[in-house]
Amino acid sequence: MQNVRSALITGASSGIGSALAEALARPGATLHLSGRDAVRLDAVVVACRARGATVHPAIIDVRDAEAMAAWIAGAGRLDLVVANAGVSAGTIAGTPEAPETARAIFAINLDGVVNTVLPALAAMTRQPAGSDGVRGRIGAIASIAALAVTPWGPAYGASKAAVDAWIVGSGVEMRKRGVTLTSVCPGYIRTAMTAGHQFPMPGLMDADRAARIILRGIAAGRSRVVFPWWIGLATRAAGLLPTWALAAAGRLLHRDGDHP
């Protein structure tokens, strides 16, 4: 995205977030990067500055609505905002999801996206439009898990489904105001989040490749970016199955008790 001169990314200290930051880093670019791990975030800042970018790091919890609003409002003009911060947790076969796990996942994956997107929309709708008529672009990282209800990791899938539905549903009206919204639904990405999985991960790809796909989709103004496409298609089809069939398939794939 060569036309992006100023971008803001949450969860930029690792995984997809750091890959996006480094993909956007170049001379003349200004990056506002947040995370909760100062050491890992500093490593990303060093890498982006080495590529010539001006970087402003911030240690912020996306669950803090006031802090997020203040950070985004103070960033100045933003061409791109990516609500990337998220967590994952699965369930062990035969064990219900712990209440504290469900609350933590919703607070970060859903509330964190809302706390990022709403102030970004407020800021971008006040910005002058570029030559293409766009005032700003916003991407929210959902998941292929948003495309089908599964009995393993229910809070994770539900939080991502809510993000996807909200972003896609809001995009029509916001486009009229000059802001494009893109829901990003990736499959398995080689990150710290997937490093401990002991089950098959079809379509697993590197974060750098995922970042390129994401940025191309956002630049094209797509309402939803799903990749790999064949995993997305299979997930859609799986979503038509009865829950008992999905549970049976999950038991076959995740015999060690570890789930996405």
Structural domain boundaries enclosing 128: 6-253
Q: Please tell me the distance from the alpha carbon of residue 75 to that of residue 9, in angstroms, as a whole number.
A: 12
Is 188 an annotated catalytic residue?
A: no
**Helix H segments across 38-195?**
38-50, 65-73, 99-106, 112-124, 154-176
Residue 16 in any domain: the answer is yes
Q: What percent of the chain has pLDDT over 70?
A: 87
Provide mean pLDDT across the span 78-102. 84
Domain count, the chain: 1
pLDDT at position 198 is 62
For the cut 60, the answer to whether the pLDDT of residue 255 exceeds it is no
Q: Please tell me the distance from the alpha carbon of residue 205 to that of residue 23, in angstroms, as a whole number.
A: 16
| pLDDT confidence band for 231 (50 / 70 / 90) | confident
What DSSP state is assigned to residue 109? I
Residue 219 in any domain: the answer is yes
Residue 71 in any domain: the answer is yes
Residue 231 in any domain: the answer is yes
pLDDT one-digit tens code per residue, 115-143: 999 999 999 999 999 988 999 999 999 99
pLDDT at position 9 is 98
Provide mean pLDDT across the span 107-120. 98
Q: What does 172-231 look like in DSSP terms, one character per residue?
A: HHHHHTTEEEEEEEE--EESTTTTT--S--TT-EEHHHHHHHHHHHHHTT-SEEEESHHH
pLDDT one-digit tens code per residue, 174-206: 999 999 999 999 988 887 766 566 666 777 789
Residue 259 in any domain: the answer is no
Tell me, what CATH number does 114's domain have? 3.40.50.720
pLDDT, averaged across the chain = 89
pLDDT one-digit tens code per residue, 200-216: 677 778 999 999 999 99
Residue of 71, 152, 156, 227 marked active site: 156
Residue 258 in any domain: the answer is no
For the cut 60, the answer to whether the pLDDT of residue 56 exceeds it is yes
More reliable by pLDDT, 47 or 254:
47
pLDDT at position 102 is 93
Contact (Cβ atoms closer than 8 angstroms) between residue 187 and residue 206: no
Provide mean pLDDT across the span 64-69. 98
Residue 260 in any domain: the answer is no
Residue 92 in any domain: the answer is yes
Contact (Cβ atoms closer than 8 angstroms) between residue 96 and residue 145: no
pLDDT one-digit tens code per residue, 157-179: 999 999 999 999 999 999 999 99
Enter the pTM of the model: 0.89
For the cut 60, the answer to whether the pLDDT of residue 230 exceeds it is yes
- Which burial class, exposed, middle or buried, applies to 100 when counting CB atoms under 10 A from its CB (0-12, 13-18, 19+)? exposed
For the cut 80, the answer to whether the pLDDT of residue 59 exceeds it is yes
Q: Which amino acid does the sequence have at 228? A: P
